[in-house]
């Protein structure tokens, strides 16, 4: 893997994304699967960001994929009309707009351009939500990140975190990307801009709740159906010892109760990662118990 | 006010040690004692399948496996076969009409200390001492008591309690309604998961060790000493977290930390930190001084 370690590589990731790739860094990336994955993802995001500077629309594949999802959700608006030089100027100073510095000419343009107004309104919604969260920095709220990340993972645009964790600088989503916070500023703005451009409709907690609920239900229904099938086939055939059978049935009832309480908790708060985690644990427990009961019956 | 763990440590140990020992020695007059001995090398694999009765396994210095079975019923017998270094011990049925009560067989097995063990016992009790090889223990209602063992330990019990005293290596324990206790452990990796049972951890926090304890309801009690060093994450979604440790809170919030229920994050001392994760759905988590 060469002399450069993961930490050293991540420290100079900024330069890598800018295209300044030292032989050491190239050697490290060639030999380190995780850093290669991070570098590939960020290079892709960075290219998207750069392409947006020329033409303020995301690449077709990205647009089509996310637009299809948003249409499915019923939250999409009319697309941005043809980009004029005024639109370009407005987009160039979008950072200041998000920061609350709304120049008179930008206000005037937004008032007359429905596309840019929609975009600006969306950024305002995101910024307000971030401030409401009370964070030290204007990061979007966790549920929004979760939603964005889930969507991007679903689309295959970013990879899921690798299990073999390397200690990375930064925190949260940034830590997952493995990028120091300052270096991510541009990437963050680019991702946010992509989301802002395509999600030209209000992103509400209700929508996210609905989407989490739907996603969880989709997985849970499949699991439930499979477990029910196994349970019907298993329960009657549990072994001869009545004490053992009684213990197994009693514990199956405990697990079923556990599942139903976790399901209730997920219904009440679909975005709760912990509730979902406990629910999947409960399914796992039931699957293991049914496997044990099957063995007893054999 | 803390809700303290229901069973004091000393009683746990005494109970787990005494019950299988008494069961083994207090045999009915009609019991048959059967012995079998096998020559093995230093790393044999011993599997024991006993539907009912106690299983006591101890390490000794000989390169032999000695099996002593005490069986009441004439309808069952000791089945013990050797295939190379693999010894397979099971309760053998001599009739098709064997009642559950006749299945009882109590085993005492002496093995070399690096023996790999695979034990299945539905009801009765399993006790293993001083064995350093990997082991896999599965029970339904039988309690599991491990002492001075090491290796990769996988324990699964439906309703039995699990006690691990001075265990080392990697420990993975799973139960539905059984309690768990990890006392004076020297393990770098412990994962304990029970649905409705209590969990007690009063072991060492080794540098870079990972300790994850999780239940749905019940009490998780973690005991620490002033010299310990760990990063702690303790969350109870619907229950309580009681903490006696003076934690250094993280400087900045971390998105990976759950913001739900009652949650506690921080670092206790700084050198050689272990990672401790405690999670409960609606149980109580107590972090208390040892």
For the ranges A112-116, B26-30, B92-96, B171-175, the one whose mean pLDDT is highest: B171-175
Which has the minimum average pLDDT: A142-146, A258-262, B32-36, B41-45? A142-146
Q: What percent of chain B has pLDDT over 90?
A: 80
**Cα(B197)–Cα(B155) distance, integer angstroms:** 15
Phi, then psi, of B240 in degrees rounded to 5: -120, 155
**Chain A / chain B CB contacts < 8 angstroms:** 96
Contact A274 B235 (CB under 8 A): yes
Q: Is A12 helix (H, G, I), strand (E, B) or coil?
A: coil
C-alpha distances in angstroms, B251 versus A182, A256, B130? 18, 41, 44
Distance from CA of A23 to the nearest CA of B (A): 33
Burial of B253-288, coded b for 16+ CB within 10 Å and e otherwise, reads: bebeebebbbbbbbebbeeebbebebbbbbbbbbbb
Tell me the chain B residues in contact with residue A243 when contact means C-beta distances shorter than 8 Å. Answer: 100, 123, 141
> What residues are paired with B143 via a beta bridge?
B125
Going by their DSSP bridges, the two strands B186-194 and B168-175 should be labelled as parallel
Would the pLDDT of A116 be above 60? yes
pLDDT higher than threshold 90 for residue B91: yes
- CA-closest candidate to residue B135, choices B92, B164, B177, B101: B164
Q: Which residue of A139, A184, A241 is the best one to mutate when testing the B interface, meaning the one whose CB has the most B CBs within 10 A?
A: A241
Range of lowest pLDDT (B68-82, B157-171, B248-262, B270-284): B248-262
Mutate to test the interface with B, among A171, A178, A289 (most CBs of B within 10 A): A171
Query: What confidence tens digit (pLDDT) does each residue in A176-213 have?
Result: 333 333 333 444 444 444 444 433 334 445 556 666 66
Mean of the pLDDT values across residues B32-52? Answer: 95
Q: If you search the block for the tokens 């030089």, which residue do you land on?
A: A85
H helix count then E strand count, chain A: 15, 0
* pLDDT > 70 in chain B, percent: 87
pLDDT band at residue B71, thresholds of 50, 70 and 90?
Answer: very high
Show residues of chain B in contact with A281, CB under 8 Å.
Answer: 193, 214
- The helix (H) or strand (E) run that includes residue B160 is none
Distance from the Cα of A202 to chain B's closest Cα (Å) equals 24
Q: Is the ipTM of this complex over 0.85?
A: no
Distance from CA of A17 to the nearest CA of B (A): 24
What confidence score (pLDDT) does residue A188 get? 42
d(CA B49, CA B24): 17
Instruction: Find, in chain B, the residue whose alpha carbon is nearest to that of A143.
Output: B255
**Contact yes or no for A255 and B252 at CB 8 A:** no
Give CA angle at B116 (B208, B67), nearest 5°: 140
How much is the pLDDT for A178?
37
Is the pLDDT score of A159 beyond 80? Answer: no
Banded pLDDT at A244 (limits 50, 70, 90):
confident
Which of A291, A149, A258 minimizes the C-alpha distance to B197?
A258
Mean pLDDT of B199-220: 96
Please give the pLDDT value at position B128.
98
Given this model, what pLDDT does residue A80 score?
Answer: 55
B256:A172 CB<8 A = yes
pLDDT in tens, A75-114: 555 555 567 778 878 877 777 777 777 888 888 888 888 7
What is the distance between the alpha carbons of residues B179 and B145, in angstroms, rounded to a whole number?
12
Task: State the best of B195, B197, B213, B273 to mutate against chain A, taking most chain A CBs within 10 Å.
Answer: B195
Asked if B180 and B162 touch (Cβ cutoff 8 Å), the reply is: yes
pLDDT digits (tens, 9 = 90+) for A250-266: 899 999 998 888 888 88
Give A285's contacts in chain B (Cβ within 8 Å).
174, 176, 195
Predicted local distance difference test score (pLDDT) of residue A173: 34
Residues whose CB falls within 8 Å of the CB of residue B26, separated by 6 or more in sequence, listed in order: none
* pLDDT number for residue B54: 97
Taking CA–CA distances from B175, the nearest residue in chain A reads: A285
- Across the interface, whether the CB atoms of A261 and B281 are under 8 A apart is answered yes
Interface of A with B (CB under 8 A): 135-136, 142, 145, 171-173, 175, 240-244, 247-248, 250-251, 254-255, 258, 261-262, 265, 269, 272-275, 278, 281-282, 285, 288-289, 292, 296
- Please state the rounded mean pLDDT for residues A288-294: 82
Range with the poorest average pLDDT among A111-120, B136-145, B182-191: A111-120
Is a pLDDT exceeding 90 seen at residue A133?
no
Higher pLDDT residue, A1 or A244?
Answer: A244
Residues B144-159 have a mean pLDDT of 97
Separation between Cα atoms, residue A208 and residue A270, nearest integer Å: 9
Q: In what helix (H) or strand (E) does residue B252 lie, and over which residues does it extend?
A: none
**A2-14: per-residue pLDDT in tens?**
578 887 887 778 7
* Contact flag A258-B195 (C-beta cutoff 8 Å): yes
Task: Evaluate if residue A174 carries a pLDDT over 50.
Answer: no
Nearest CA in chain B to A174: B255
pLDDT in tens, A268-283: 888 788 888 898 888 8
Residue A61: predicted pLDDT? 64
Contact A281 B193 (CB under 8 A): yes
- Please check the confidence at residue A284 and state whether its pLDDT lies above 80: yes
- Scanning every residue of chain B, which has its alpha carbon at the shortest distance from the alpha carbon of A289? B158
pLDDT, position A234: 63
Q: Taking CB atoms and an 8 Å limit, are A251 and B255 in contact across chains?
A: no
Q: Which of B51, B237, B238 is closest, CB to CB, to A241?
A: B51
Partner-chain residue, chosen from B122, B158, B216, that has the shortest CB–CB distance to A289: B158
What is the per-residue pLDDT for A37?
Answer: 78
Report the pLDDT value the prediction gives residue B110, as an integer from 0 to 100: 98
């Amino acid at each position: 893997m060469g002399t450069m370690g993961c930490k050293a590589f991540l420290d100079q990731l900024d330069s890598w994304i800018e295209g300044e790739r030292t032989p050491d860094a190239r050697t490290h990336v060639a030999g380190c699967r995780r850093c290669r994955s991070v570098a590939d993802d960020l290079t892709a995001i960075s290219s998207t960001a750069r392409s947006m500077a020329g033409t303020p629309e995301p690449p077709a594949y990205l647009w089509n994929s996310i637009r299809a999802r948003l249409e499915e959700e019923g939250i999409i608006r009319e697309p941005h009309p043809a980009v004029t030089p005024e639109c370009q100027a407005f987009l160039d100073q979008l950072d200041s707009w998000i920061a609350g510095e709304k120049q008179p000419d930008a206000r005037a343009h937004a008032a007359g351009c429905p596309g840019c107004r929609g975009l600006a309104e969306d950024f305002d919604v995101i910024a307000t939500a971030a401030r409401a969260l009370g964070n030290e920095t204007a990061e979007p709220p966790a549920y929004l990140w979760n939603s964005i990340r889930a969507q991007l993972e679903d689309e295959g645009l970013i990879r899921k975190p690798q299990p073999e964790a390397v200690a990375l600088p930064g925190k949260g989503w940034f830590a997952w990307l493995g990028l120091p916070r300052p270096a991510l500023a541009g990437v963050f703005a680019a991702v946010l801009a992509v989301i802002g451009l395509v999600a030209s409709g209000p992103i509400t907690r209700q929508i996210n709740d609905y989407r989490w609920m739907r996603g969880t239900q989709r997985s849970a229904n499949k699991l439930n159906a499979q477990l029910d099938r196994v349970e019907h086939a298993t329960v009657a055939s549990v072994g001869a010892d009545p004490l053992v059978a009684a213990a197994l049935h009693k514990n199956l009832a405990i697990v079923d109760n556990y599942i139903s309480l976790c399901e209730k908790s997920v219904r009440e708060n679909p975005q709760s990662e912990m509730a979902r985690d406990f629910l999947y644990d409960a399914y796992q427990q039931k699957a293991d118990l049914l496997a044990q009961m099957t063995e007893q019956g054999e | 006010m803390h809700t303290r763990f229901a069973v004091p440590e000393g009683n746990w140990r005494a109970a787990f040690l005494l019950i299988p020992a008494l069961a083994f020695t207090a045999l009915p007059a009609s019991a048959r004692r059967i012995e079998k001995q096998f020559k093995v090398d230093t790393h044999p694999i011993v599997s024991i399948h006993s539907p009912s009765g106690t299983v006591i396994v101890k390490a000794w210095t000989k390169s032999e496996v000695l099996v002593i079975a005490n069986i009441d019923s004439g309808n069952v017998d000791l089945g013990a076969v050797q295939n190379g270094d693999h010894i397979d011990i099971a309760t053998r049925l001599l009739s098709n009409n064997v009642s559950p009560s006749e299945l009882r067989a109590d085993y005492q097995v002496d093995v070399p200390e690096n023996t790999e063990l695979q034990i299945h016992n539905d009801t009765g009790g399993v006790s293993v001492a001083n064995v350093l090889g990997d082991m896999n223990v599965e029970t339904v209602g039988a309690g599991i008591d491990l002492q001075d063992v090491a290796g990769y330990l996988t324990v699964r019990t439906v309703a039995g309690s699990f006690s691990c005293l001075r265990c080392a290596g990697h420990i993975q324990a799973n139960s539905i309604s059984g309690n768990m206790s990890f006392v004076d452990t020297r393990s770098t990796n412990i994962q304990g998961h029970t649905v409705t049972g209590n969990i007690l951890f009063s072991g060492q926090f080794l540098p870079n060790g990972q300790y994850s304890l999780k239940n749905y309801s019940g009490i998780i009690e973690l005991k620490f000493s002033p010299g310990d060093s760990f990063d702690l994450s303790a969350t109870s979604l619907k229950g309580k977290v009681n903490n006696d440790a003076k934690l250094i809170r993280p400087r900045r919030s971390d998105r990976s930390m759950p913001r739900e229920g009652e949650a506690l994050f921080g670092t206790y001392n700084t050198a050689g930190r272990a990672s401790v994760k405690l999670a409960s759905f609606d149980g109580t988590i107590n972090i208390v001084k040892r």
